[in-house]
Amino acid sequence: MDFDDSPDEAAYRARVRDLLEQHADELLHLAPGQEGVDARRQEPEMRRTQRVLAEAGLVGVTWPREYGGQGGTLVQQAIIAQELARARVPGLINHIGIGMCGPTVIAHGSQDQRDRYLARLLRADDVWCQLFSEPASGSDLAALRTTAVRDGDEWVVNGQKVWTTLAHVADHGILLTRTDPERPKHAGLTMFVVDMHAPGVTVRPLRQMGGQADFNEVFFDDVRIPDSERLGEPGEGWRVALTTLMNERVAIGGAGGDIGLPVEALVAHARDRLPELAADRQVLARQAVGRAVVAALAARYTGYRRLTVLSQNGIPGPEASAGKLAATEAARLVSDAGVRLLGDEAVYAATSDGDDRWPRTQAWIPGIAIAGGTDQVLRNILGERVLGLPPEPRSDKTAAFSAGRPAGGRR
């Protein structure tokens, strides 16, 4: 692919830049040295920022116009992401809604659900979360035990989800449940849209090793969901979930966006710090920086190439897993090299109010290597579905779920 903007792309970039300048006073901006914002503390500002951007036509550009999008291209979306980063506007509060929940509602929701939810999601009138993982099912997602039992025109949900990013500020979630334990584990699942303010939903924060609490555990006690909030047919939940998961892998680094600190920040940091390191440490730090730059640029350009393929056929396939793997590995090398350049100061930086970007990012990256499919699971997907290698032995694929493990309820 050609990395320079085409004349149309350059004009689009100029328009985006112009809009960001026009609305600068209404947008949240990162302070110098600040790399992210905490939705717990700045929820109103983050919602406002997304609303302003949505009204300017800069959110969900690839979504169809009938659902509030612009019918634009992935390249335009990448241009907006680059310009937001350049203007130091932080990531959107509803990134899970835009990247994963919305596309799932578009693909599998009823017209009524699309009309009710999508425009509000883009404006962050409603924030969304993804309620898939449970204490005993993460990689093996289809082993989940949260049950939904039909009761007339409603379903009654009981169980527990965990690691639910943004559940503490969310208004809606997409919820994967077991509705038929007598069928094999992948066949007995059903997806719903759940109102996070409904009676019986309890959200408890979980603190990460980097200090922030981005995610939560969520309990469902006799939560009632109208049948009209089902996404797809009963028993079709796995197919619906695959739409979400493939979009998730593209959203996390699959399309050329850097994860964590950009490689340019590492190069600037290296220029600053290398002369101050003792000779023996300098050699190792140079090697670490070199390895990180190569990995980051390779991941970025491979992501751009994937973007081109995606622009042509639209639907992310299993190869999206390779992008997430490469971007995460690059991010790990970049943050490790950044910490190495700090030397002993990294210890103080991590615990003081100083420039703690590098140790903080280093503590955050392992989570990204787990979220949306762990490195090992993505390698399995690549082996089986891209390279056509023999699959892992799976003894529980055809038996009724109830034959293997007890179904339903909080553990």
Ligand X SMILES: Cc1cc2nc3c(=O)[nH]c(=O)nc-3n(C[C@H](O)[C@H](O)[C@H](O)COP(=O)(O)OP(=O)(O)OC[C@H]3O[C@@H](n4cnc5c(N)ncnc54)[C@H](O)[C@@H]3O)c2cc1C
Helix (H) or strand (E) holding 216: strand 215-226
Please identify which residue in 63, 155, 163, 238 interacts with ligand X, judged by CB under 6 A.
163
Least distance (Å) from ligand X to the CB of residue 134? 8
Element (H, E) at 86: helix 74-86
Question: Which residue type is seen at 237?
Answer: G
The minimum distance between CB 122 and ligand X, in angstroms, equals 19
Piece of 8-16, 261-269, 344-352, 373-381 that binds ligand X (CB under 6 A)? 373-381
Residue 63 touches ligand X, criterion: CB under 6 A = no
Angle between helices 279-313 and 320-342 (to 10 degrees): 160
Question: Binding string, 106-145, against ligand X, x = CB under 6 A?
Answer: -----------------------xxxxx----xx------
Q: Catalytic residue, from 83, 248, 264, 392: name it.
A: 248
Q: Which is nearer to ligand X, 175 or 341 (CB)?
A: 175
If one asks whether residue 311 binds ligand X (CB under 6 A), the answer comes out as no
Name the phi and psi angles at 362, rounded to 5. -60, -35
Pick 76 or 104: Cβ nearer ligand X: 104
> Shortest approach of ligand X to residue 164 CB, angstroms?
5
Tell me how far apart the alpha carbons of residues 237 and 273 are, in angstroms, rounded to a whole number: 51
Q: For residues 113 and 193, is the Cβ–Cβ distance under 8 A?
A: yes
Nearer to ligand X, 16 or 189 (CB): 189
Greatest Cα pair distance, the chain, in angstroms, is 74
Task: Indicate the residue whose CB is closest to ligand X.
Answer: 138
Residue 72 φ/ψ, nearest 5 degrees? -90, -170
Q: Which two tokens stand for residue 291?
A: 């390895």
Integer Cα distance of 224 and 156 in angstroms: 5
The candidate with the shortest Cα–Cα distance to 180, out of 235, 242, 240, is 235
Question: Nearer to ligand X by C-beta: 210 or 316?
Answer: 210
Q: Which is nearer to ligand X, 318 or 367 (CB)?
A: 367
Strands 172-178 and 215-226: unpaired
CB-facing half-sphere around the CA of 108: CA atoms within 13 A: 25
CB of 77 to ligand X, least distance (A): 21
Q: How far is the CB of 107 from ligand X (least distance, A)?
A: 18
376 is a contact residue toward ligand X (CB under 6 A)? yes
d(CA 113, CA 172) in angstroms, rounded, equals 12
**Spatial distance between the Cα atoms of 361 and 357, rounded to a whole number of angstroms:** 6
Nearest to 55 by CA among 128, 129, 125: 125
**Can residue 374 be called a binding residue for ligand X (CB under 6 A)?**
yes
What residues between 165 and 224 interact with ligand X by CB under 6 A?
Answer: 165, 215
Q: How far is the CB of 222 from ligand X (least distance, A)?
A: 21
> What is the size of the binding site for ligand X (CB under 6 A)?
19
Binding to ligand X by residue 39, rule CB under 6 A? no
- Per-residue tokens: 393: 């032995």
Beta strands (DSSP E) in 113-166 are 128-131, 147-151, 154-162
Q: Is 248 a catalytic residue?
A: yes
CB 354 to ligand X: min, Å:
25
271-310 mask for ligand X (x: CB under 6 A)? ----------------------------------------
R_g of the chain, CA atoms, integer Å: 22
Binding site for ligand X (CB under 6 A): 129-133, 138-139, 163-165, 215, 367, 370-371, 374, 376-377, 380, 392
Any idea which residues carry the catalytic annotation?
Answer: 248
